[in-house]
Amino acid sequence: MQEILRVNVSLDDVMEVKGAARTACMVVFSGTAESPYFQGKILPHGVDTQMRTDGHPMRLSARYILEGMDDQGRPCRLFIENNGAEDPDHVIRTRPVIVTDSPSLAWMEHTDLQGTVEGTDGGVIIHILADIG
């Protein structure tokens, strides 16, 4: 698997509700993205919803739009839906889905994508990976 996109996320706000057996969070974020295929930024209103249920791994679902330039130097956008869960070793593994208006990046819509989330000071790095040979 090769990294096709790295998204550098800054956490802007965290809203949380603690129930009897679950905790739900909404994390609002901003940031930038970089790769040989795309350079750009996260548009406003990116949000990650997280659910922690006692005795079960944390599950997440993030949705956001990136705006920038594709590998041909053309302006474009990428919508990313990134669903995942924390594994027993506390690594967050995701299954991203990408929709783009870039003809040169359309292959991302039909490629089996995987991801990981790496914690940083004040945010996270999302690594989106594909087996592109």
User: Comparing 122 with 28, which gets the higher pLDDT?
Assistant: 28
- Beta-carbon contacts of 66 under 8 Å, excluding residues fewer than 6 positions away, are 7, 33, 38, 40, 41, 42, 43, 77, 78, 80
- 97-107 pLDDT tens trace: 999 999 999 99
Residue 116, token pair as written in the block = 């990981």
DSSP state of 43: P
- 40-98 pLDDT tens trace: 999 999 999 999 998 888 999 999 999 999 999 999 999 999 999 988 888 899 999 99
- The pLDDT of residue 133 is above 80: no
Q: Which residues lie across from 96 on neighbouring strands?
A: 82
pTM to 2 decimals? 0.91
Q: Domains (ranges, CATH) in the chain?
A: 2-130 (2.40.160.20)
